[in-house]
Amino acid sequence: MEPRMSIITLGVKDLERSYRFYHEGLGFPTDSKLEDGIIFFQTSGTRLGLYPLDKLAEDVSPGLTPGSPVFHGITLAHNTHRKDEVDTILKLAEKAGAKIVKPAQAVFWGGYSGYFTDPDGYYWEVAWAEFWQFNEDGSLIV
C-alpha cells in the first residue's frame, strides 16, 4: 500500500452549514455544489470531503447509526489506480490486524470499494473508480 491518504470524509449533520464554514469561512477551494450531496475541497494532496452523517454511516455498514460508539462520523480513504488493488489492500490490511467491515463490492456511485477498521477502530475505505485520475504525486484529482 502506498503511504498516502486520498480523501478525509467528515460526516456532518448540516451539509449547508459545514459548506459555508469551510468554503466561505475558511476559504477552502471547491468546485462542488451543495446539490451534489457531497462536497470536496481541494487541499494539498489529500482532499477533504463533507457528506451527510447518516448517509456516511449507511455507506460504511447498513444498520450503523451516527454517533454510535463504533462510528464517529469520519472515514479515511485510500483510492487505487486499479480495481484489483482494492482486494489486495483489504487483504493486506486484514493480515496486518485490521477488521474487514465491508468486503469489496460494486457501489452505488459507480466504483468498487470496501471498508476496514484499524486497531483503534478508525474506518478506512479502499476504493477504485474507472473515472478517477491522479496527479504525478499520487494525489487524487477531484
CB count within 10 Å of CB 50 equals: 27
C-alpha cell at 75: 472515514
pLDDT value at residue 61 = 83
Find, among 13, 24, 80, the residue nearest to 50 by Cα: 13
Q: Which residues of the chain have pLDDT under 70?
A: 68-70
Q: What is the pLDDT of residue 69?
A: 63
| pTM score | 0.73
CA–CA separation, 103 and 118 (whole Å): 15
69: Cβ contacts below 8 Å, ≥ 6 apart: none
pLDDT of residue 137: 82
Domain 7-131+133-137 falls in which CATH fold? Answer: 2,3-Dihydroxybiphenyl 1,2-Dioxygenase; domain 1 (3.10.180)
| DSSP class per residue in 89-111 | HHHHHHHTTPEEEEEEEE-TTSS
